[in-house]
A and B are shown apart, each in its own frame.
Chain A
């Protein structure tokens, strides 16, 4: 045997057993690798399937979004091309009653059709107006400019507006919880606190809500007819106002709101009383609210009242005398469910000239809100009256009120 053959045999003896020994472990390793690969493949397939699903979902969303974007773009183009695109928000409230007053008879009372418009003027101010037509007349009830970006928490307002006196005097009558303006408010303030003039309010930088207002007006009170609003007069015969208003959350569901107001007219002169004198009308308003946060749609209770004190020279007998007349009202209203609410109003309204003579009103009422914008209300009032100035303010009275709002309509923060 030559060396080459011996070498071959030597390597055969070494390699064959080595191969035999090595081969099973190699096969086992390969099986494991194949298993691993199979698992990885399965995982990858699952991932790819999930990815494909998500991709499909995304594509669907994108297609839907693209469709919607195209629609919106088209609408935007249409709006932009319309000349009325910058028109203000417009709304209207209609307020009417069917009523029967024992001492005055029956009436279909067209109380108001109130058209409201509001919009920003520029970055510095906005404006709003209410035009009200009723059975008596058509008037600019409010039309005012309000600043939006004065520094130091200040806000100015000018024009014709409801002066910041008390609480209910700033409501338009269709926003009351009951049908009529309380006589106490009507006789002291003169119904709504409508005034031509200017106001400056300041929000105090306190952690709680505290706001102060100062104002100057030609006169205050929509139905205050003792003063002619059309004529110029001395500054001393204008009305000047100061008010402080605050609010506290007693808890998430209970709150208290408190305000005090003072309207001072240095010199009130009427033709029959050339001597004249000042007039001071003061007011305190208090509102308690229970608004359970989780069920404000169905539950709630408001207890609110105002006390007024009027001091002025008024005709009494043959001459004029300074008289102080305290007046006020208080009402409670409870929400029964989403559509129904009921309440009671007590009203104590003296004659300003003879405070001993009073009209006391007791008025239970129930309200059915078919929707946020459509409301029916039934109210009974009994007025115990010894003022004897107006027979319609006496005895038993029944009201069925229907109030609706259409279009954009918001009286904002003041009538919350």
Chain B
């Protein structure tokens, strides 16, 4: 009788544990870690209450020099999915963290690793890969998020990544994706109308990250402040850039998370307007979603153009 009682008790405990786990699994949202705030924003829009998305970066960092913080390790360790920009944007910090995170299911090539650059028409693919050309990206320019049409590709990749790993929720992800894409399409039409005055405007950028944006809104890139990607300018380079800007009548100098020292120096010599734009969403309430972030960049450029 005693052993029968024990059996019953054990069965009840096992059942309790099983149902407890099942209950927990049902209730727990999908933990998605993203490398940038716009990817977290899109994941929230597409996954809604099914996901818990968090970005490792705040959106103000220079993406090629994000500090490798050990506090990122437990987040990656517990993540169900990882969404990243790809094209080696995060190459200086993400691989080192993934090596330490003990989470093979989000390793490159695994279903839990969502590369949001899949399907993007890549610009600035280098003709030769040699560091005499600076800190080149062998796969091409990774700042494709600056073109809002690529935002649609990023959203689709996230939805596909979520559905690939959680097929039972596919209809929900697809429905939310359609709603998000419709919202984004409306915003794109608005930006294209707003950005009409930008067509043909000649610009100088600090780093070669604005190609996609320039391509979408018809801006013409005249040169970069950096001598080569990742290499600060020499005095000679600044002199020849000043001359080129004067010849080409460049109107705007665009920079991001870099120092404003050289942009202001060039502006004082050429009369061009200086504008600091955001390379990624996040950083402030003005840019905390992807749509607000593109909106901020378009509006900032238009405001700067009026001043020039």
* Interface residues in chain A, defined as those with a beta carbon under 8 Å from any beta carbon in chain B: 61, 64-65, 68, 71, 123, 126, 146, 148-150, 153-155, 203, 205-209, 247-249, 252, 255, 257, 289, 291, 293-298, 337-339, 370-373, 406, 410, 412-413, 416
Contact = CB atoms under 8 A, between A and B. Distances in A.
A283 to B, nearest CB: 18
A91 B100 CA distance: 21
B67 A338 contact: no
Given A296-B62, A412-B99, A406 B131 contact: yes
Contacts of A255: 69, 71
A257 to B, nearest CB: 7
A208 B102 CA distance: 15
B68 A247 contact: no
B125 interface: yes
B233 to A, nearest CB: 11
A207 B74 contact: yes
B104 A65 contact: no
Contact of A371 (B61, B97, B122, B135): B135
B9 to A, nearest CB: 29
User: Chain B CB within 10 Å — which of A255, A371, A413 has the most?
Assistant: A413
Interface of B: 57-58, 60-62, 65-71, 73-74, 77-78, 95-97, 99-102, 104, 107, 121-122, 125, 131, 134-135, 230-232, 257-259, 283
Contacts of B122: 68
Contact of A413 (B74, B77, B99, B135): B99
A294 B70 contact: no
Given A297-B258, A337-B259, A208 B71 contact: yes
Contacts of A296: 61-62, 65-67
A291 B66 CA distance: 10
Nearest to B228: A371
B74 A206 contact: yes
A416 B96 contact: yes
Contact of B71 (A149, A209, A293, A297): A209
| Chain A binding surface SS class | mixed
Contacts, number: 98
Contacts of B125: 68, 71
Contact of A297 (B65, B73, B74, B134): B65
Contact of A410 (B60, B67, B73, B96): B96
Contacts of A149: 104
A255 B73 CA distance: 15
B259 A203 contact: no
A416 B230 contact: no
A338 B77 contact: no
B173 to A, nearest CB: 25
B70 A209 contact: yes
Contacts of A295: 257, 259
Nearest to B75: A207
Given A65-B121, A413-B68, 15 more contacts: A148-B99, A148-B104, A149-B104, A203-B100, A209-B71, A247-B71, A293-B67, A294-B61, A296-B62, A296-B65, A297-B62, A338-B259, A339-B232, A412-B100, A413-B97
Nearest to B140: A68
B158 to A, nearest CB: 21
B59 to A, nearest CB: 9
A249 B71 CA distance: 7
User: Chain A CB within 10 Å — which of B57, B135, B259 has the most?
Assistant: B259
A255 B125 CA distance: 37
Contacts of A297: 62, 65, 257-259
A146 B96 CA distance: 14
Contacts of A252: 58
User: Chain A CB within 10 Å — which of B66, B125, B131 has the most?
Assistant: B131
Nearest to A407: B131
Contacts of B66: 296
A203 B70 contact: no
Nearest to B216: A57
A378 B130 CA distance: 28
Contacts of B259: 295, 297-298, 337-338
